[in-house]
Structure 1
């Protein structure tokens, strides 16, 4: 009997769409393509690199989706029969639910991947308008033939209104007052509470996070990446890139089409002790961005920019 020979199929360096699976996903998530829209369960349509573009709430929405653990904010809907509260994450990472007291929630941190987070949120918001108390929308179903004219978050929100989220130390807001969790909700609540890292908002889309051995400032910035990097480089060359003693610029990561700079902070200091330093840094950064139109980067600043470009970090 002849030996059976196993033949391993050779992987191509690019997928059917011509995208290298090891390169960053075009959707701007910061993940590799093979771990994002290149995976088998992804919706097969064109990724939207900047899903919240055009909204004054863009940076805040990105922060709430990417790294803020427990927060809520009422959405500034242009027209709605029922108010809707946005939550960072809902029980079992549901897309939407209506509590037994009639309060409607939509979630940002969900289990499914999509090419357009804005479109998915709009569908969840429309769902809760007619849902009954106690109803849950586990996921926004995949759309195999997405309509490019489908309703998006930009169609439902007042584009000029910024968000002022309320941060929570746990997920008790999942339930109405005096309600007891049970079953899967109780288990999900327990696990979610255990995973929370202490977080505080010290400015617009600027969040202090206690990661245990270190504290960080994660700041979602609205400027185009090229301009922001140039402004950061200008401050770096001047020695003005920190928030004060005990702070150090760590690097940046991309999320939903924008850059998120990160600073390491002295964990012994309370979050509010960094508020003034963050305000002053924000002012210096805005001034540096404005100066770029009249003052090109010097050779020293260009070297600083090259160094900053190489300092990409990964959230854990």
Structure 2
């Protein structure tokens, strides 16, 4: 576990249940929530982890007492986990109805790994609206309704696949993609992809591997899907591809010449899709 300092932490969510999903919600999923709970030491509070909050707030103590913690915020130190823990603890101490706005570098303190109960699964629910920002009994004024409607307009269609972990189908314009956050070290994932790519086996049922990007120390491979593909259309194909991918990831054999060339090509395929 990283020290509670301002030093850069490559994998800030390492050790949390569902690390790849934490990364996915931070980087590639527009609207979603995940479940968490603080330790007994920190009050055993239920926490609704979310992708984003209004005005880029890092946390919110909602009017009904629910604590929301946002991942898509600008962190001020080299350790996102440290910054998020600081926001979470401040939200817990705040009165209901209070938004947290952190400024400057947090003082030395605990990380999420110290504050959250690590036995609680990080169960993700993809949302199609940001209406959950508000407590259920809060009256929606015209301004509130307009703010949520404006935020909702930026949501792209996203579905979390059921058959494998941390894989998200999305539609961007007229194109569909699969983004599959991996729990392994970057070198392991790149070697595995290179093994498959060298024998032209990095795709599945019309899906083409188009590249990957890094986030919070993990790799998120991306496949472009045939036009018009819905999430349910690829559930079976991805489930069938998963053991093939897992075998490639598990191999410890040195890459041969073709695989090394494939790997060199992969490094040039880092992509940005949002």
TM-score, L = length of structure 1: 0.78
Give, in angstroms, the shift of residue 63 of structure 1. Answer: 0.5
SS of aligned partner of 1:304: helix
* Equivalent pair of 2:16/2:118 in contact (CA under 8 Å): yes
Q: Do structure 1's residue 133 and structure 2's residue 96 form an aligned pair?
A: yes
Matched residue, 2:261? 303
The aligned residue for residue 13 of structure 2 is: 52
Q: What's the CA shift for 1:162? A: 4.1
Change (3 A) 1:113 1:250: farther
CA 1:60–1:71: 2 relative to 1, 3 Å:
same
Measured on the aligned residues, the alpha-carbon RMSD in Å equals 2.1
| Length-normalised TM-score, structure 2 | 0.89
Task: Give how far 1:129 is off.
Answer: 2.1
What SS does the corresponding residue of 2:266 show, helix, strand or coil? Answer: helix
**Structure 2: tracts of 5 or more residues without a match:** none
> Structure 1 regions of 5+ residues with no counterpart?
1-43
Query: Which residue is 1:218 aligned to?
Result: 179
- Is the 2:32–2:124 contact (alpha carbons within 8 Å) kept by the matching residues of 1? yes
| 1:160–1:299 CA distance, 2 compared to 1 (3 A) | farther
Q: How is 1:42-191 mapped onto 2 (pairs within 5 angstroms)?
A: 45-79=6-40, 80-81=42-43, 82-111=45-74, 113-137=76-100, 139-143=101-105, 146-147=107-108, 150-159=109-118, 161-182=120-141, 185-191=144-150
> Distance in 2 between the 1:267 and 1:75 partners?
36
Which residue is 1:249 aligned to? 209
Contact 2:35 2:121 in 1 (8 A): no
The 1-side partners of 2:61 and 2:37 are apart by 18
Q: How many residues align?
A: 266
Deviation at 1:187, TM superposition (A): 4.3
State how far apart, in whole Å, the 2-side matches of 1:168 and 1:275 are: 19
Mapped to 2, the partners of 1:101 and 1:259 lie a distance apart of: 37
For 2:238, which of 268, 278, 289 is the aligned residue?
278
Alignment check: 8 A CA contact 1:57 1:159 kept: no
Separation (CA, whole Å) in 1 of partners of 2:92 and 2:208: 46
Alignment check: 8 A CA contact 1:57 1:161 kept: no
